[in-house]
Amino acid sequence: LSVLRSPIKHCRNCGAAVVHRVPDDGDTRERAVCPQCATIHYENPLNVVGTVPHLGDRVLLCKRNIEPRKGKWTLPAGFMELDETTAQGAARETDEEAGAQIEMGPLFSLLNVRRVGQVHLFYRARLLSDQFNPGYETIEARLFTEDEIPWDELAFRTVRETLLRFFADRKAGAFGLHCVDIE
Ligand code: ZN
């Protein structure tokens, strides 16, 4: 999830070894350029989409069964797929990782993780049941009150920042949309 992508080594078009240089077309950034077929490989940030599934004063977290951060707790989230919206991706990840029945709510947090080239988006989601059916990516899925959240055992900074704001807004009685730059 939050891992730096390794640089492109081979051309996706013809397989030749690429060179990393600024293309001659007025570009200002170094790209992986193919010396054989002249393909320029543009790399752009990826979207990670997820939910804050809540029931009363409790939030659903999943204990990760996969690397990175295996054994740590996370909100259900993962990379957006082609041919789905951000909300559809968030719902899919919630189903895959927790097997939770939800009613999707509004976007709650947007977090720029510039260092790894990712944008994380979390939607609020109302849980329709406290029964979960986690998939292979999850060791355990359970509900936590604010006091029970394993703050030192969270998998990702974006999960921490989202949870902090969720419980603060809940206390204040009004939910906003939070844009956060993680540096
Ligand atoms: Zn090529």
pLDDT in tens, 40-53: 999 999 999 999 99
Cβ(30)–Cβ(22) below 8 Å: yes
Tokens, residue 93: 């990840």
Confidence band of 150 (pLDDT split at 50, 70, 90): very high
SS3 115: helix
Cα–Cα nearest to 157, from 122, 130, 107? 122
Confidence band of 1 (pLDDT split at 50, 70, 90): low
Which residues neighbour 21 within 8 Å (Cβ) at sequence distance 6 or greater? 30, 31, 33
Predicted model pTM: 0.92
Say how many Å lie between the CA of residue 11 and the centre of ligand 1.
Answer: 5
Backbone φ/ψ region at 99: left (φ over 0), alpha (ψ -120 to 50), beta: left
Confidence band of 112 (pLDDT split at 50, 70, 90): very high
Say how many Å lie between the CA of residue 115 and the centre of ligand 1.
Answer: 28
Say how many Å lie between the CA of residue 42 and the centre of ligand 1.
Answer: 13
